[in-house]
Amino acid sequence: MSYISFGFTGFLLASVLFYGICPKRFRWIVLLLFSCGYYLCGGIRAMAYLCFTVLTTWSAGLILDHLNGLRKEIPKSDKTALDRLKKQKQITVAVTLLLNFGMLWMLKYLDFTVGTVSGLLGTFGISWNPAVPDFVMPIGVSFFIFQSVGYVIDCYRGKYPAQRNPAEFALFVSFFPQMVQGPISRYDKLSPQLTEGKPLNADDLREGILRILWGYFKKMVIADRAAVAVSAFFADYGSYSGTVTAMAILLYCINLYCDFSGGIDITVGSARLFGITLEENFRRPIFAENLAEYWRRWHITLGGWMRDYVFYPISLSPAFGKFGKWSRNKFGGKLGKIMPTSAATFIIYLIIGIWHGANFRYIAYGFWNGAVITSSILLANVYSDWKKKLNIDDKSRYWKWFGMVRTWFLVFLGRYITRSPRLLTGLALIGHTFNPMAARISDLWNGTMLTLGLTGADYAVIAVSAAVMLAVEWFEETHEPLSEALAKKNGFIQWIAMVIPLLAILFFGIYRDSYISSAFIYGAF
């Protein structure tokens, strides 16, 4: 069930209504039933994958909770028993991860793996082309797997007791507003809110509705409109000049930015209607001054998950301890100290690239971001010396703007890779863009841009709407969240703040000529 449908609007309103009229102790059951109903819209097989993750991770949590209880009964002097218990816990986690990430690999990467191996064998004259089953890809599959696995690892670490009620745990995994594209919530922050049964509140309803409308505005007025031109360009990308290519990638940057942030707004706003506060997953990355900060602001909970459950275990592992000792002996000084951290950082961004999809272009995308970020860490002293010699004040407003523009350019280059159908196509389009012989500036006004399925009015709507969005984000970056500012105003101002985006959605989104709603891009991840 798409967020961009009247069906979802009716579904959300019905869930809020039933939640509000139901007695407090049964409200979590209403959320569970509606969450199951939402996911069943994707089919029985999709529901089966979700149930598999719920069952395996809930069972693992109980086993780990039991083993943690046994740990308290074993004397510290009994090293053999403690080691045996630790091994049992590690096996429990390993099996759970293998089952769930194995399912994710089967659904998302099996076809890519078979194709790659088949191609490699073909270079040696070996023919191997097995049939790959046609699996149903559940929406948000990696999100609910990551969220559930995070719970298991927390139970392993003894962060909190395991949830003994399978239905309450199922609600934590399947809470429907966050199923499409996250955020990846932590059990101790989300589950208590889901089962609290908080009554409907006027402030929650107002802020939730405003956030939802803002999300629909970004998605339907900006993102879906820009997506039309991007799709038209990539349907025949070899026919356009470098100038049009650059404009198409710029439109894709706008499309992705508004698509993802708009979806997050709808998610957070929908949860807020029930009085539930989800973790923020997007914090104005356009104001980031370097690439590492950009990704800390973009898909925040994915970065946090990678930090806590991948980066720290890798960087603190015995193997990396030996690597750190070797690098300090080999290189000495600061370089030797930061080599292990830089290597772990590079691995994380490579994993995030692979997470985005089963294609070499995503691997290259992770490599690109990892290389840029780790090189900036390794060369930090060099950059500092340059700034001193050039008398650059890196605290000045101008340097901050330079950092933002530099970051925009790096992100812009990366989008060539992720949007192109193949890695080599993306690299070729980058070369085409920066080839002076392929540039035709006149294509911006001679009618060529109108061949991408948009009118001049459409481009004007994108430009004005994007400017409005940036103005709001600038206000929130320099002052406070817009919802908090509006809460201090009178009811009339708050009402106007809801009506304006609603009218924009109706006239420039839903009821505009040939409106085409596109699926959320991150829903496929």
Higher confidence at residue 246 or residue 81?
246
**Cα 484 to Cα 458: distance, rounded to the nearest angstrom:** 32
Higher confidence at residue 37 or residue 327?
37
Residues 77, 132: one domain?
A: yes
Examine the fold and report which residue of 179, 200, 221 is the final residue of a domain before the chain moves on.
200
pLDDT of residue 515: 62
Indicate whether 333 belongs to any domain.
no
pLDDT digits (tens, 9 = 90+) for 407-444: 999 999 999 999 999 999 999 999 999 999 888 999 99
**Cα 56 to Cα 148: distance, rounded to the nearest angstrom:** 9
pLDDT digits (tens, 9 = 90+) for 121-143: 888 888 888 887 878 788 889 99
Say whether pLDDT at 514 is over 80: no
**Cα 47 to Cα 59: distance, rounded to the nearest angstrom:** 18
Residues 192, 260: one domain?
A: no
Can you list the pairs that 510-519 forms with residues at least 24 positions away whose Cβ atoms lie under 8 Å?
510/220, 515/220, 515/224, 516/224, 516/227, 516/228, 517/2, 517/4, 517/5, 517/220, 517/224, 518/223, 518/224, 518/227, 518/259, 519/2
Indicate whether 305 belongs to any domain.
no
Collapsing DSSP to helix, strand or coil, 413 comes out as helix
Residues 84, 217: one domain?
A: no
Name the one residue in this structure whose structure tokens are 């745990």: 169
Mean pLDDT in residue range 349-357: 87
What's the Cα-to-Cα distance from 19 to each of 41, 201, 213, 215, rounded to whole Å? 20, 12, 21, 23
In angstroms, how far is the first alpha carbon of the chain from the final one?
Answer: 17
Say whether pLDDT at 304 is over 70: yes
pLDDT of residue 516: 64
**Cα 501 to Cα 198: distance, rounded to the nearest angstrom:** 28
- The tally of CA atoms less than 13 A away on the side-chain side of residue 336 is 10
Residues 274, 186: one domain?
A: no
**Cα 255 to Cα 247: distance, rounded to the nearest angstrom:** 12
Say whether pLDDT at 45 is over 70: yes
Q: What one-character-per-residue DSSP string does 48-75 give?
A: HHHHHHHHHHHHHHHHHHHHHHHHHHS-
pLDDT of residue 508: 82
Ranking 32-36, 149-153, 214-218, 482-486 by mean pLDDT, the lowest is: 482-486
The answer to whether residues 233 and 297 touch, using CB atoms and an 8 Å cutoff, is no
Of the candidates 63, 51, 78, 18, the residue with the CA atom closest to the CA atom of residue 144:
51
Examine the fold and report which residue of 185, 200, 215 is the final residue of a domain before the chain moves on.
200
The Cβ of residue 494 has, within 10 Å, a number of other Cβ atoms equal to 17
Residues 131, 228: one domain?
A: no
Of the candidates 108, 127, 105, the residue with the CA atom closest to the CA atom of residue 117:
127
**Cα 16 to Cα 212: distance, rounded to the nearest angstrom:** 14
Indicate whether 523 belongs to any domain.
yes
Residues 249, 121: one domain?
A: no
Confidence of residue 512 (pLDDT cuts 50, 70, 90): low
- Helix (H) / strand (E) element for 270: namely helix 242-273
Mean pLDDT in residue range 32-43: 91
Structure tokens at 148: 């559930």
Residues 99, 46: one domain?
A: yes
Can you list the pairs that 441-444 forms with residues at least 24 positions away whose Cβ atoms lie under 8 Å?
441/243, 443/240, 443/241, 443/243, 443/244, 444/243, 444/247
pLDDT of residue 34: 96
pLDDT of residue 113: 87
pLDDT of residue 458: 92
Examine the fold and report which residue of 156, 174, 200 is the final residue of a domain before the chain moves on.
200
**Cα 342 to Cα 321: distance, rounded to the nearest angstrom:** 13
Mean pLDDT in residue range 200-213: 93
Residues 262, 194: one domain?
A: no
The Cβ of residue 184 has, within 10 Å, a number of other Cβ atoms equal to 26
In 420-518, which ranges are continuous DSSP H helix? Answer: 423-433, 456-478, 482-487, 491-505
**Cα 491 to Cα 250: distance, rounded to the nearest angstrom:** 38
Residues 184, 109: one domain?
A: yes
Indicate whether 409 belongs to any domain.
no
Residues 88, 172: one domain?
A: yes
**Cα 86 to Cα 156: distance, rounded to the nearest angstrom:** 9
- The tally of CA atoms less than 13 A away on the side-chain side of residue 467 is 6
Torsion of CA 260, 266, 272, 276, to 10 degrees: -50
Question: Into how many domains does the chain fold?
Answer: 2
The backbone region for 43, taken as left when phi is positive above 0, alpha when psi lies in -120 to 50, beta otherwise, is: left
Mean pLDDT in residue range 365-376: 88
Indicate whether 136 belongs to any domain.
yes
Mean pLDDT in residue range 96-124: 89
pLDDT of residue 3: 82
pLDDT of residue 92: 97
Say whether pLDDT at 322 is over 90: no
Phi and psi (nearest 5°) for 510? -60, -45
Neighbour-count burial of 36, counting CB atoms closer than 10 A to its CB (0-12 exposed, 13-18 middle, 19+ buried): middle
Q: Domain span at residue 222? A: 201-282+421-525
In 176-241, which ranges are continuous DSSP H helix? Answer: 187-196, 202-216, 224-235
| Contacts of residue 340, Cβ cutoff 8 Å, sequence gap at least 6 | 315, 320, 323, 324, 327
pLDDT of residue 517: 66
pLDDT digits (tens, 9 = 90+) for 234-291: 999 999 999 999 999 999 999 999 999 999 999 999 999 999 999 999 999 999 999 9
Q: What one-character-per-residue DSSP string does 302-326 give?
A: HHHHHIIIIIHHHHTSHHHHHHHHH
pLDDT digits (tens, 9 = 90+) for 219-243: 999 999 999 999 999 999 999 999 9
Residues 136, 242: one domain?
A: no
Mean pLDDT in residue range 391-400: 86
**Cα 493 to Cα 491: distance, rounded to the nearest angstrom:** 6
Indicate whether 236 belongs to any domain.
yes
Buried b (16+ CB within 10 A) or exposed e, 292-302: bbbbbbbbbbb
Say whether pLDDT at 181 is over 90: no
Higher confidence at residue 450 or residue 393?
450
Indicate whether 303 belongs to any domain.
no
Confidence of residue 511 (pLDDT cuts 50, 70, 90): low
Mean pLDDT in residue range 289-301: 94
Indicate whether 497 belongs to any domain.
yes
**Cα 31 to Cα 48: distance, rounded to the nearest angstrom:** 19
SS3 of 320-366: the string is HHHHHHHHHHHHCHHHHHHHHHHHHHHHHHHHHHHHHCCCHHHHHHH
Confidence of residue 406 (pLDDT cuts 50, 70, 90): very high
Residues 97, 192: one domain?
A: yes
pLDDT digits (tens, 9 = 90+) for 9-18: 999 999 999 9
Say whether pLDDT at 327 is over 80: yes
Highest mean pLDDT among 134-143, 179-188, 508-517: 179-188
Predicted TM-score (pTM) of this structure: 0.92
